Structure formats: structure tokens, C-alpha cells
Amino acid sequence: MANISKKICLVGDFSVGKTSLIRRFVEDKFSDRYLSTVGVKISRKVVEFATNQINQSVNLLIWDIEGQTKFQSIAPSYLKGASGSIIVADITRPETLESLQRHLDLFFSVNPQGLVMVALNKSDLAVEEKLARIIQLYNFDLHPQVLATYVTSAKTGEYVELMFRQLAENMIKPLV
Amino acid sequence: MATTNQANGSNSNSQSETEIQENLNTLIDLISELNQVEENLTSSNQKDKINKKQHYKPDKDITLEIKQEKKSASTSTDNNFRNKEENKNPILGKEKNLDSLPQRHTTNDNSVIEEGVTVVAEGRSDYEMGIQTPSLSKQCTDDGVLEPNAPKAKSLTLAINQPSQITPLADNTNLVYISENKYTKSQKSIATLQQSVKNLENKLKDNQHQLDEIIDSVNSLISLTVELINLQSNTSPTSIVSIIAPLIDRIIETRSTEDLQIMGKALSTVLPVAITQQIAATPQSIAKALAPEIALSIQEQILLDKESISRSIGPEMGKAIKAQIELERDAMVDALYPVIGSTIAKYMGEVVNTINEKVENALSVEGVKRKIRAKVQGVSEAELILQEALPYQVQAIFLIHKASGLVIRELQPDLDHQLESDLVAGMLTAIRSFANDLISDSSELDEIDYSEYKILLEVAGYCYLAVVVKGEPSKQFRQKTRDVLSKLVLKHGNIIEVYDGDSSTVPESIALLLEELLEQDRQQKSSGSPSTLIWLIVILLSVIFVPWGIFKYKNYVADRVLQQAAIELDAAPELSVYRLTSHIEQGKLILSGRVPSEYLRNIAAERIAKIAQEAKLTLENQIVAINVPTDPTITQEEVERVTSILNQQEGVAILSDYKDYAVTVTGFTLNQTRDALIAQTFKQIPGVEQVIINLDKQLPIVDNRIYFASGSLELNSADFTNSVNQIGQLLAMYPQLHLRIIGHSDRSGIPQDNQKLAQDRANKVATALIAQEINSKRLYIMGSIEPPPGVTANQPLQKSRCVRFEFFIPDRGKNTHNS
């Protein structure tokens, strides 16, 4: 049993693929069906890795938080105590990309020390050139606590595992 | 040539049809060519006849001309024409007067034309009709050339001058030139062209006419058609229907593509009625048509107005459920079972718990109970103590970081049912946050109740304690959790505050504190185990069964007593024939039955008394002694026997009659004391219930005396008969009665004789009586010379000469001899 537990949250507008990303990471599965998450869903996955030749493991508690809609904003209380967060946007929907900054601000307002990954999801639905442009436009890597911006696809699994792992490792680092 | 254009211009005025114009243009071209040819011709032939043609040479351009009737003057519209005509010579004298007028130069030409035209006209009467164009005639008027009789003109003819001139030329020409040949040929072609133009124009005109006519007729037809349709629909609607039917759908289709709104408006009024009708006629089809859409439409309506559907269906739901229950109860039960089952289970659980509590309060003898149960179940007391924990059992204790929902420390005593602590903690945290956000930040979620499980939440500053409990935790337990949490916070508050998921930072003492909660739990137990319910049942059962057992035992004892009694009663032979029963009731042995006599009743009581005494019961003798109806014949005999015995006594002569249990006694008793004896004697006879005594105290007196004549023994038969009847009856009735026959004689004569006479007289009567079958033994005869009683000496002697009778009852044994 992992003796270190960390809470991470997935934040983003509705239907950007938060639940799918988690599903891909935890169960390595994908479904086209859209299931709206109500409230919160919590998943758990133990991530093991070696840091400085020491085998480490972290018990990731992944909070899948109901996406933000026009009518309902994300409850900040769900974000409390999260060590990290993955802010998700849907590259096929510009308005979700526009929301990224707002989500970032919200997360940092609750967890000033938190680490963040930005996932530009549904990369399987866009062509290369567009991807490149979007990555250029929405790059938050300059922010000190934003670890990276990845173009992910829950469908193909592209960058999903990597993103989660990196986040997990970075959350552990200060302790090592 | 320039003139061609002008002609063209006028042409275009008159004709709008471009086609025709084009044709004309080509014609004009042709004509101009022809004119050239003609010119050539003329130059070569200077003959006057041909001059005409030369005159007309300049005219070749003019294509339009108003042609009048032969007599009337024609006007040319073209000034050029006129100017050119000035040089021309009039040819026909007939029209010379016209020529004088400078303006009418043209008329010369016209007359020439006429000539030509007439020639041409022969073959082209149709062309003559020409085109009547108002524009043309107008133009004529503008020029002021038009003659007053111009209106007479039947037609304004589009005439080509050239051909008309050419024709006469052709007619007249006897000279044959090559060019002439050529000319003729072209003339012919022109003719055909003209023909075709004319045809075209005609057709056009026709068409236009037809169109106009059609329009007119259609207009007038519309009203007609309407009427026709009306009429037709009245007379034979089916035909109308068959005509219109195939068109209707197209009409509607077209119309609805044109204006959907109007169409909708028009149909909207009819639709509800139509639907109603259709539903009435064939409800199935409507149902089929609508069915697939109903679900969708309901969904749509819910989207539009969430409340409306529930509002409209709501009031009917109750009824619907009721109806469904009536219709198919099982289906309803199945549908509701999952809900009701758990509800009832929960409710029952609560009820049992309340019962438990109450029972506990009533019987607080835990220790005793446990000991007894330990013996009964054959288990150790310690084990029982554990089992008593059943009412509430701590399944898990989580110390959770308030903000992140990470588990700081957990305790799960039950190893079989380990909960996913991380997820549980996370979800609890989410639920807490949600509840706080939703309701109020200041209030706290204390408890989550999940049927038989409860999750108690105790919240401190940076952490909270979640205790999963199965069953109903006590108040003390709640207090304890609070205490434990406050201790935790006091001791380790700072560690908890900065907890970031690393469990190694959590001191072991936290776990120890939490374990305290489990300990507490065990000490608390005891209370309200369902076994108290078992005790209740045991008591209830004993309440039922103990009296029942006592009752059974009593019954057993009673049975034995009764059995003895029965044997005892049987043992007495005089009682054995009677059905005597005994039963026991409230400490009494009761005998019942019937016996014919008090005696037997007493015997029975005596025999049973001993048994009753042994069983310590008081005896109650309810045996009834009753009269058994006796045999009437036997009673009768007995009555007779008693009667005869009584009759043997002194001074008794009785008769008895037994009837209906009553004895009627008649007769005589001389001793009054005997009456009571007689009555008692008869009463003692079984079957005699009543004795009626009707006895005379005196024997009957016979008044009749038999009188004799003086010194005679002769019987007066009348006297005798009277006496005998009376005496005979009485003697017959009472055998005990005897009769004394006493003879008397009068005092006259010798007393000795008289004595004998008296004796004889008595004998005489006795003999007569014996002759009447009266027993002689019952007769006692004596004679006396004394006068009979009641007769004195001074009475006539006859009264003394008689025999009289006296009844008597002789003493026993003494009999008649003695007296």
C-alpha cells in the first residue's frame, strides 16, 4: 500500500473529456458515450516510479469534478487540499480553451502551492497545423507552477499516462 | 439603302414581334436587290409600259402602304415616297384628278399599285386581310393624308409594292430577257416569302385572338364552373369527388409550399374535429399513428416546461396505481418490492430496536440472562459479550483530512469487510463540501444514514472523524467520538493541519486514540441485544404454558377421581342400571344423573362420598330421583287386591275404580276411622297418585215392604218385584253385604201362630229371592210378631202383615249362622 496519498483534480468546462482522461489513465479504456459527471467522482490509482534509484509510489486520488457550465461554476470546495490539478480543454471548442486561464486562476486561488498540467484534449479530432497553432496560442508553460501543456487524446491515449505520471512525480519530489 | 431603315422604323412601329420584323428585314433586302435587277431591266427596255416600273423604282424601299378599296384614294405615309413620286407620270386617266393634287402624287402610284395589287391579290386573298394595326392607322391620321372614307378601308395591308408592280410586268412582258427570267424566279421566291410572312402574321394574330378569346371565355367560365360544380356536387357528388380527388393532395402541397402559415391557419380549425372523428371511427389507427411520437413529445414537453407534464399526470397517478393494483396486483408488488422491502426492513429494524429498549428497561438482569444463555447455548460468557455488541458495531473509523479528503488514519476491525478507505474518505469529503456549499457553511453534516448503516461525522478544525456503524449507536458512543476527536486535535492538531498525504508523518498515538473508540464500543455493548427479545418470548411462552401445564395436571387428577367414581358406581348393582355421571368443578365432585327413588340416590351419594373425601373434594349430589311410570295393569291388580283385603274388614263394603293414576273408592264403611286407612292404603300402591274416597257411613235402607193378606203366605208379586230389583242390585254390587229378611204378623190371633206365620212369610220371600239367583248364604231369615218399625198398634193390621229387609255386614268368621 502506498504510504503517500495525493489528491489531484481535473478541472475544465463540461464535456472536455475529464472523465475520459481519468478512465484512460485508471482503467486504460475509452468510450465515446458522453456521461455527464454529477458532483464529484473519485478514482484511485497507485503510480509507481523510481526516483534516484528509490522505488516510490504514490496513491493518486483523482477527483473528477463536474464540468463548468454556463449555469454552474466549479465549487471551489472540491478543489481544496489538492496537490495537483489537470486543467482540461477541448481543442475543438475554442470557448473551452478560453476558459483555461479562468480555471487556472481558480485552482491557484484555492491551492496556491498546487501543481498544474494543462491538457488540450481531443487531439484526435484536429489536424496537425491546427494543433500547432493552438499549442502556440494556449501555452501556459511560463507559469511557474504549470508543469507542462500537453495535447492529449483520451481516445488514443496520447500523452495521458505521461501527463499523469509527470504530475505525480512532481508532487512527490519535494518530499524526496 | 437609307430608306430601308426608315421603312424598318415604321415597321417596328406597327409590329412588336421581332421575328416578323426580322423576316421583313430579310424581305426588304431581297426587295432592294430585286429593284436593282429591275433597274437594270428598265434601262435596257425603254418601253413606256415598263416606265411604270421605273416610276416605282424609288418606291422599292417603301414596304408599308395603306391600301384602300379600288375606288378610294390611298395615302402613303412616307414623305420620301411622296417626293420621289413627284417625277412620275400618271399612267391611268381614271386617277388623273387625283394626280393634280401635289400631295396626292402618291395616289398615282397607288393606283398603279392597285393594278399590281389586283393582280397579286388574285392569288393572295389571305394577304389582303393584312394586319390591322392601330398604330398604323394612327400614323396615317397624323400625316393628315387619310381620306374621310379611309375608315371604309377594310384592311391596312402591308403591301410590298415591288411585287405588285412586278406581277403586271411579268404579265405584260412578252419580251424575254435573261434578266427577266431571273426576275421571275426571284419574284416567285418573294411570293413564297410573302406568303410565309403572311402565314406567320396570321398565325400570330390567330394566336393572339385565341388567347384573348380563351381569357374571355375562361373568365366567363369561372362563374359557370362554380355553379356547375355546385350543381354537380348536388346531383352526383361522387363524380365530383372522383374528379377532384386526385388533385387535392397536390393542391394542398402547392399551397403549403406557397404559404405555410395560411395553410396551417386554414386547417387548424378543422384538425381537432378531424382527429376527434378519426378517433371515434378507428381508434386503433390513430393510436398507431401517434404511438411512436408520444414518448418523444412527452420528452419534448418536459424540456419545454418541466412542471406541466407532472401537473397534468400527477392527479391521475394515484388512480392509475390503484387501477393497476386492481388489475394486476402481482406486477405492482414486484415493481414496488425493492423499495418497500427495504423500507419495511428498516422500519421493522427500528421497531425491534424500540422493543429491545423497552424490554431492557423492564428486565435489567443482564448478567443473569447471559449466564443462563451461556448455559443454554453451551458457549462461553465472553463470546456472548461479543455477540451482545450486535445492536451497533463499529465497522470502520476514519480520520480524514478535511480539505483534501485524504485519510490520515483508519481503523477497520472487521477484516472481512474492508472498505476502500481512500474512496470512502474522498466521497465523504465531497458530500460534506457539497452539503456545506448547498445548505450553509456554518452547519455541519452530522450523520449519514444508510438503512442499517450509519456514518457518524465529527468535525474538527482540519480533520474530521467518520465512524461507520452498523446499527443504532448510543448517545454515549457519540459523546465518546467527540472526546476522542478533541483529544486528537489537541495532541496532534499541527500535524493534522499540514498533512499532505504522507502517512509516515502520522504518529502511532493517533491510532491508539482511535482504538480507544473501539474499546469503548466493546464496553458499551451489552445493551439492547436482540436476545432480550428472546427473553421476552420466553416469558410470554411461560405465561402461556405454565397455567396450561397446571390446567393439564389438574385435569389428569380429576380424570383419575372420576374414573374411580365410575368404578364405584358400577360396583353397586342397584345403581349400575342407571346412567350416573360425575365431574369435577371448582373443587367439587358433582354427581348427576337420574334414579327412580330417593333411596337409590342416597346409596349413590354414600358410595361416592368416600372417594370425594380422599380427593379432598366436596361432594355435590345432583342426582335426581324421579317417578318411573308404573304398568297400569299391575296397579290395577294391586288396587283390586287392596280393595278385596279392605272389604274383608268389619263394616267395610267398598268398590274401587282405577283410572289415570287415580283410585275412586265408593261403598260403605260403618266405621268412620276406616276412611283414612282406606285412603292411605290405596295411596301406597305404586302408580296411584290420587285417591278419591266416596263412602257412605250407613248401609242402604230398603223401604219397600212386601205386604200379605191376613193369615196368608201369598206373595204380592208387585211388591216383591220392586223389592227384588233394588235388593238384587245392591247385593250384586257389594258382596260383603248380607240381607236380613224379617217376617211380621198382626196381633190378631194366637201369638204362636203369628210367630210361625211371620217365620214362614220370611221364608217364603227368601225362597223367592233365592229363586232370583241371590245367594242364600247372604240371607238371614227371622220372624217377629211385633209390628214392624214405624207401625203403631192403632194402625190398621194390614200394615203389620209384611216382610221387610235390612242390609247388614256380618262380622268376620261369625257369619249368618250366629245370628
Position A8 scores a pLDDT of 93
The CA-atom distances, in angstroms, between B761 and each of A127, B158, B720, B726 are 187, 210, 12, 19
Per-position DSSP letters for B152-164, written without gaps between them = G-S------HHHH
Whole-number Å distance between alpha carbons of B809 and B177: 220
Q: Which residues of A touch B403 (CB under 8 A)?
A: 80-81
Whole-number Å distance between alpha carbons of B757 and B765: 12
Going by C-alpha positions, the residue among B690, B689, B678 that lies closest to residue B653 is B678
The CA-atom distances, in angstroms, between B333 and each of A32, B173, B325, B752 are 38, 124, 8, 141
Whole-number Å distance between alpha carbons of B652 and B684: 19
Distance from CA of A73 to the nearest CA of B (A): 12
Cα B787 versus chain centre, distance: 125
Whole-number Å distance between alpha carbons of B442 and B436: 8
Inter-chain contact B433–A44, Cβ cutoff 8 Å?
Answer: no
Whole-number Å distance between alpha carbons of B362 and A155: 67
Distance from CA of B493 to the nearest CA of A (A): 16
Q: Mutual orientation of helices B2-14 and B134-143 as an angle, nearest 10°? A: 120
In three-state secondary structure terms, A121 is strand
Position B282 scores a pLDDT of 81
Inter-chain contact B430–A40, Cβ cutoff 8 Å?
Answer: yes
**pLDDT surpassing 80 at residue A89:** yes
Provide the whole-model pTM.
Answer: 0.37
- Of the candidates A61, A78, A80, the beta carbon closest to that of B422 is on A61
Using the Cβ of A80 and the Cβ atoms of chain B, whether some distance falls under 8 Å is answered with yes
CB A86 within 8 A of CB A168: no
CB B63 within 8 A of CB B7: yes
Q: How far separated are the first and last CA of chain A, in Å rounded?
A: 18
Inter-chain contact B426–A80, Cβ cutoff 8 Å?
Answer: no
- Of the candidates A4, A42, A44, the beta carbon closest to that of B501 is on A4
CB B582 within 8 A of CB B566: yes
Residue listed under C-alpha cell 349413590: B604
Tell me the pLDDT tens digit for each residue of B219-243.
777 777 778 777 777 777 777 777 7
Whole-number Å distance between alpha carbons of B238 and B244: 10
Position B318 scores a pLDDT of 81
Using the Cβ of A22 and the Cβ atoms of chain B, whether some distance falls under 8 Å is answered with no
B446, with CB counted inside 10 A (0-12, 13-18, 19+), is exposed
Whole-number Å distance between alpha carbons of B236 and B249: 22
Residue listed under C-alpha cell 293414576: B661
What ipTM score was computed for the predicted complex, to two decimals?
A: 0.84
- The percent of chain B in helix, strand and coil, each rounded to the nearest 5, is 65, 15, 25
- Of the candidates A7, A75, A77, the beta carbon closest to that of B406 is on A7
Position B123 scores a pLDDT of 41
Q: Which residues of A touch B426 (CB under 8 A)?
A: 7, 40, 42, 61, 63
- Of the candidates A4, A44, A80, the beta carbon closest to that of B502 is on A4
User: Amino acid identity of B324?
Assistant: Q
Going by C-alpha positions, the residue among B662, B664, B666 that lies closest to residue B654 is B666
Q: Is the dihedral of CA A14, A17, A19, A21 positive or negative?
A: negative
Distance from CA of A123 to the nearest CA of B (A): 31
Task: Enter the C-alpha cell of residue B266.
Answer: 386554414
Position A118 scores a pLDDT of 92
Q: Which residues of A touch B422 (CB under 8 A)?
A: 5, 42, 44, 59, 61
Inter-chain contact B502–A40, Cβ cutoff 8 Å?
Answer: no
**What is the number of alpha carbons within 13 Å of residue B162 lying toward its C-beta?**
28
**Which among A1, A6, A7, A176 is the top mutation candidate for probing chain B, defined by the most B β-carbons within 10 Å of its own β-carbon?**
A7
**What is the number of alpha carbons within 13 Å of residue A96 lying toward its C-beta?**
23
Q: Which residues of B touch A61 (CB under 8 A)?
A: 404-406, 422-423, 426
- Of the candidates B422, B427, B501, the beta carbon closest to that of A83 is on B501
Instruction: Give the list of residues 6+ apart from residue B509 with CB closer than 8 angstroms, or none.
Output: B491, B492
Residue B269 phi, psi (nearest 5):
-70, -30
Instruction: Give the list of residues 6+ apart from residue B94 with CB closer than 8 angstroms, or none.
Output: B111
From A83, which residue of chain B is nearest by alpha-carbon distance? Answer: B500
Using the Cβ of A72 and the Cβ atoms of chain B, whether some distance falls under 8 Å is answered with no
Distance from CA of A161 to the nearest CA of B (A): 21
Going by C-alpha positions, the residue among B179, B143, B152, B167 that lies closest to residue B64 is B143
Question: What length does chain B have?
Answer: 819
Give the count of Cβ contacts less than 8 A between chain A and B.
73
Inter-chain contact B434–A59, Cβ cutoff 8 Å?
Answer: no
Distance from CA of A168 to the nearest CA of B (A): 12
- Helical H segments across B57-157, by residue range: 79-85, 96-100, 105-123, 125-129, 134-143
Inter-chain contact A6–B427, Cβ cutoff 8 Å?
Answer: no
Position A161 scores a pLDDT of 92
Whole-number Å distance between alpha carbons of A164 and A10: 11
- Of the candidates A4, A59, A78, the beta carbon closest to that of B430 is on A78
User: Amino acid identity of B103?
Assistant: Q
Write out the residues of chain B at the interface with chain A, using a CB-CB cutoff of 8 A: 401-407, 420, 422-423, 426-427, 430, 433-434, 436-437, 500-504
Task: Enter the C-alpha cell of residue B368.
Answer: 443473569
> What is the edge-to-edge ordering of all strands in the sheet holding B618-625?
B580-585, B588-595, B618-625
Distance from CA of B408 to the nearest CA of A (A): 10
Q: Mutual orientation of helices B531-571 and B329-362 as an angle, nearest 10°? A: 90
Distance from CA of A4 to the nearest CA of B (A): 4
Whole-number Å distance between alpha carbons of B33 and B125: 26
Q: Which residues of B touch A43 (CB under 8 A)?
A: 423
Inter-chain contact A39–B503, Cβ cutoff 8 Å?
Answer: no
Task: Classify residue B749 by its DSSP letter.
Answer: S
Position B459 scores a pLDDT of 83
Using the Cβ of A113 and the Cβ atoms of chain B, whether some distance falls under 8 Å is answered with no
Task: Enter the C-alpha cell of residue B44.
Answer: 435596257
Provide the pairing of β-strand B447-450 with A115-121: unpaired
Q: Which residues of A touch B427 (CB under 8 A)?
A: 40, 42
**Which among B398, B433, B462, B508 is the top mutation candidate for probing chain A, defined by the most A β-carbons within 10 Å of its own β-carbon?**
B433
For chain B, residues with pLDDT lower than 50 are: 1-15, 47-171, 173, 524-528, 813-819
**Which among B404, B427, B462 is the top mutation candidate for probing chain A, defined by the most A β-carbons within 10 Å of its own β-carbon?**
B404
Whole-number Å distance between alpha carbons of B756 and B551: 104
The CA-atom distances, in angstroms, between A27 and each of A2, A166, B129, B371 are 18, 18, 100, 55
Position B90 scores a pLDDT of 44
Going by C-alpha positions, the residue among A46, A18, A29, A23 that lies closest to residue A165 is A46
Cα B211 versus chain centre, distance: 74
Instruction: Give the list of residues 6+ apart from residue B16 with CB closer than 8 angstroms, or none.
Output: none
Tell me the pLDDT tens digit for each residue of B107-162.
444 444 444 343 343 444 444 444 444 444 444 444 444 444 444 444 444 444 44
> Residue B483, by phi and psi: left (phi above 0), alpha (psi -120 to 50) or beta?
alpha
Instruction: Give the list of residues 6+ apart from residue B70 with CB closer than 8 angstroms, or none.
Output: B114, B118
- Of the candidates B403, B406, B433, the beta carbon closest to that of A5 is on B406
In chain A, what's the furthest Cα-to-Cα distance?
49
- ∠B514-B520-B525 over CA atoms, to 5°? 135
- B459's enclosing H/E stretch is strand B453-459
Task: Classify residue B420 by its DSSP letter.
Answer: -
Q: Which residues of B touch A63 (CB under 8 A)?
A: 405, 426, 430
Task: Classify residue A153 by its DSSP letter.
Answer: B
User: Amino acid identity of A12?
Assistant: G
